[in-house]
Amino acid sequence: MKITVIDYGLSNLLSVRRAFEYFGAEVEITGSRSRILSAKALVLPGVGAFKDGMAGLSGLSLADAIADKCAVGTPLLGICLGMQMLFDESDEFGRHRGLGLIPGRVERIPGVDTDGAPQRVPHVGWAPVLPPQKRGGSFRGTVFEDVPPGGELYFVHSYEAKPAYDAHRLADTVYGGRRLCAAAQKGSVIGCQFHPEKSGKLGLSVIHRYLILCEAAH
């Protein structure tokens, strides 16, 4: 399976490439609009600020190309900042429009926990992932199929995505007594707030399941 990783200047591309190549995928890293429009499956990684990420995509005329590909069912996996940019907007350093592929917005993680005690932001480290309450406690049929509820994955983020609809909430994590969205999905568009490429065997299992999804789409 060929995976096209979108390069817009704000990504840790080497670790993402290695994670997909571990399963035998052919990986192309590109910022070319034409290459992205011809891709069979996409990955949108990212680190940094939402505004800078969207500026990087827009500067390469990639935002509408990504939207066009997703509109025809091309699989897309967004990672960390890449997940956040899938949503409608973010309030990070002002209000900024996203790709609008999953309804919802991105907001700063509260600086206090549910008891009112100060908590560290960003949220950094290994944290459990859980099926959203609406999913009945199961990851069956998703890219988390091989992740046991409560299994830990690696997070680094100061902002949380908030899907507008529970149906698009794929996995949660818990920080400061609150459930935060760890992953979201609408159709063939999937976002992971954690870094699967840095999350050991469980993270690799998510990548493997995404590759299976991509194969099924073709």
Question: Considering 96, 157, 195, 208, which one is annotated as catalytic?
Answer: 195
Q: Return the structure tokens found at 47.
A: 């680190």
The reply to whether 195 belongs to the active site is yes
Rounded Cα–Cα distance for residues 98 and 102 (Å): 10
The reply to whether 80 belongs to the active site is yes
Question: Considering 92, 152, 160, 197, which one is annotated as catalytic?
Answer: 197
Question: Considering 80, 181, 192, 214, which one is annotated as catalytic?
Answer: 80
Q: How many helices (H) and strands (E) does the chain have?
A: 6, 13
CB atoms within 10 A of CB 132: 21
The reply to whether 160 belongs to the active site is no
Over the range 55-83, which residues count as b (16 or more CB within 10 Å of their CB) and which as e? Answer: bbbeebebbebbeebbeeebbbbbbbbbb
Residues labelled as active-site residues: 80, 195, 197
